[in-house]
Amino acid sequence: MSTPEPSKGLPGPNPHSSVDTSCWWRYPNLRALNLLMIIPLLSIFSQGFDGSMMNGLQSVTHWQTYFGSPTGALLGFFNAAYPLGGILGSFAISPVADTLGRRCGIAFGAALCCVGAAIQGASVNIAMFIISRVIIGSGSVVVAGVGAPYITEIKQTSSAEVSDHNMFTFLKDLGSTAGNRRRMFIMVWAAISSQMSGNAFVSYYLSPILYSVGLKSDLQQTLINATNQMLSWFTAIYFATLLAKVGRRKLFLWSLAAIWVVDICITAGSAVFAKDNTNKAAAYTVVAFLYLFSPAYNLGFNGNLGLYIPEILPYRMRTKGLSFFYFVQFCFMMLSTFTVPIGLDDITWRFYIIFVGWVMIELVGPPLEEIAYIFDGPQSVVGQAAEVMVEGKTQGLVEHVASKEAV
């Protein structure tokens, strides 16, 4: 595939575009396009709603009483049912997207979510509640896995290629070239980092953490959860505007550093309160840094990964690559969500140390795109893509960069 020749037209930051995309509101077609893109963008955000809802339910006395105040492994399974559904649904992303098409694929996943939500709302026992969450998880990952590449493909023109739905063929393709092997490494690293940084206990177990530092009333927990979600929403929107200005790699590193500091402070505050449960300063410190966790996470992960992973994958591998990414991500999401309540019951605040250590490993290790330079030097496909992205010049040219690699 040859690099497109620059076209003549209105000046803009993209030399290959005939319009100034930084002032997209001046053009009727771009206004309509960006408004329509809200739908697939919201499809990615559907994953975060589940954590907010489960946090809220655990703060409601009626829900706790109705389901017997679940703790430990049972509470872990309540929450892990969602990523279990995501693991199963990840195998459907490629055949659904490439057979039904992107829009119908999103509709199919959304329909599954609606069915699961209806069953969950009508749940009368634990089994019904868990099954409904498996269905929601399956639909949610299909929606996210189809919606992410759809956004990327809307903003850039890609030549259609025949796609093989066979996962084994895809894994063979991933190992066929040096560039693809590094793509796989980046997807695995990103999937693990996004789920093993401590977000599990903030997203799903905020109520038990607040209870452990003396905040036990429904009103206190619900108010903290609601305002925390509002802060997360505002910061996610703002940090999404930094991708082109700052670059992917810096945001990942800044985010990991911020998460590491937040995890340490939550651990320290919880340890102090465990020794002296009258120490209100320690309790308030934990609450303050629970608020700061979402901005720290949003800085590099929430909104970055949804577009970054499709951008490093060639068109013919895009949906299968997302399937692989979400499979790994939901495996570790299931691991973390299931083990957190067990760890909190058995070793209390000491369980947080696991996340502190893990984030430290992620932070001091080689950052995402530099892996390509270590193995292949500046000529590697992922490395060249990184240079374009870090400079804020993501102009839909990842496909052209990828074509330079000998397959």
Angle of helix 248-275 relative to helix 352-364, nearest 10 degrees, comes to: 150
Q: Is residue 10 part of a domain?
A: no
- Do 128 and 350 touch, CB atoms closer than 8 A? no
Residue numbers of the domain that contains 266: 24-402
At 148 the pLDDT is 65
pLDDT of residue 237: 86
The CA angle 241-245-248, to the nearest 5 degrees, is 85
pLDDT at 383: 41
The answer to the question of residue 16 being in a domain is no
Check residue 169 and give its pLDDT. Answer: 62
How many whole angstroms separate alpha carbon 208 and alpha carbon 221?
Answer: 9
Q: What is the dihedral of CA 69, 73, 296, 134, to 10 degrees?
A: -90
Residue 287 within any structural domain of the chain: yes
**DSSP sequence for 78-137:** HHHHHHHHHHHHHTTHHHHHHHH-HHHHHHHHHHHHHHHHHHHHT--SHHHHHHHHHHHH
pLDDT given for residue 333 in this prediction: 93
Total domains in the chain come to: 1
In a domain, 58, yes or no: yes
Q: Kindly give, in sequence order, each residue whose CB lies less than 8 Å from that of residue 177, ignoring residues fewer than 6 positions away.
A: 405, 406, 407
pLDDT at 259: 95
In a domain, 104, yes or no: yes
Which residue positions in the chain have pLDDT lower than 70? 1-22, 40-41, 43-47, 148-175, 365-407
Report yes or no on 320 lying in a domain. Answer: yes
B/e letters for 312-332, b = 16+ CB within 10 Å, e = fewer, are bbbbbbbbbbbbbbbbbbbbb
In a domain, 183, yes or no: yes
On whether residue 110 sits in a domain, the answer given is yes
Question: According to the model, what pLDDT value does residue 398 have?
Answer: 38
- For residue 127, give the CATH number of its domain: 1.20.1250.20
Write out pLDDT tens, residues 328-355. 999 999 999 999 999 999 988 999 999 9
